[in-house]
Amino acid sequence: MDIRGDQALGCAKNDKYYQTPTFMPWRPEIHILARMKLDTLSLQELIGRAAQGDHPCFAQLYARTHTHLFGVAIRILGNGQAAEDVLQEAYVSIWKNASGYRSDVGGQSIQPMTWLIAIVRNKALDALRVRTRRKESELSQDDALAEESMGTNAGANPSALQLLDQATQALHIEVCMSALEGSYRQSLALAYYQGLSHTEVAAQMGAPLGSVKAWIRRGLDKLKSCLALQGVVA
C-alpha cells in the first residue's frame, strides 16, 4: 500500500488536534508527533470519523486493517485478483455505511474488527458462490497463474484445521474444543476458513452430507459453549 503525505500523517486537515503539519524537512519531530497522535485513535474512532466524511481517517482505517482483511478474503477466494475485487467492494461499502457501525447492540459489545470481518466475509462468500457456478473448465489460464503467483496453494498456507487449532489455542479454548472429534472440527474449519458449503465439505471429506451437517452444527454448539466459558458472548 502506498499512502503518502497528508493521509499518512493524520485525519482531516481542519481538525485542530490532528491537523496535518506543513512539510518541513528541517523539523522531522513535527511529523513524528502527528503520526503518534494519529496512532492514538482507535479503530472505533476512525470509523466514527469516516462516517462523518473524513477520508484521511478512512485511509488510516484501511492502512491498519487491510492486510488482515485481505488475508480473510484470499483464504476464501484463493485467487488474488478476486480477493482484491472483494476487498475493494468491502471498503467502499465500509465508507458508505460507516455510520451504521454500532459498538454496542443490546448490551453486546461489537468490536470494530468483528464488524469489518463480517463485511468482508459476506462479500467474499457471495463472490465465491457466483464463481462456483462456473464450470471448472471455464477457469482461465490467467486465473490459474494469478493463484500461483499469490502463493495460495495449499502447501504454502496453513490448512483450515491448523488455523482453527491456532485460533482455539489463542482463545484458550483448545482443551474445551478438543472434546470434539477431529471430523467435527475439520468440517467446521473448512466451512469457516474456506467458505465451503455443506455439499462441498462433504465432497472434500468424502463423508455423507447428513453427517457433515450434524458435525458442523455440533461444532458450532461446542464453539458457543467454549467461548461462553471465556466470557465471549456468554
Segment 67 to 96, residues that bind another protein, using CB under 8 A: 67-68, 70-72, 74-75, 79-85, 87-89, 91-92, 95-96
Site for another protein in 151-210 (CB under 8 A): 157-158, 163-164, 166-167, 170-171, 191-193, 195, 197-198
Q: How many other C-beta atoms lie within 10 A of the C-beta of residue 195?
A: 22
From CA 36, how far away is CA 31, in angstroms rounded?
Answer: 9
Binding track over 35-74 against another protein, x by CB under 8 A = ------------------x-x--xx--x---xxx-xxx-x
Measured in degrees and rounded to the nearest 5, phi and psi for residue 53 equal 90, 15
The interface region with another protein, picked from 13-21, 41-49, 178-186, 215-223 by CB under 8 A, is: 215-223
Binding track over 101-130 against another protein, x by CB under 8 A = ----xxxx-xx-xxx-xx--x---x---xx
Q: How many other C-beta atoms lie within 10 A of the C-beta of residue 207?
A: 15
Secondary structure class of 160 (helix, strand, coil)? helix
Asked whether the beta carbons of 201 and 194 are under 8 A apart, the reply is no
Number of amino acids touching another protein (CB under 8 A): 72
Min CB(194)–another protein separation in Å: 10
Nearer to another protein, 58 or 184 (CB): 58
Measured in degrees and rounded to the nearest 5, phi and psi for residue 208 equal -60, 145
Q: Which three cell numbers stand for residue 190?
A: 473448512
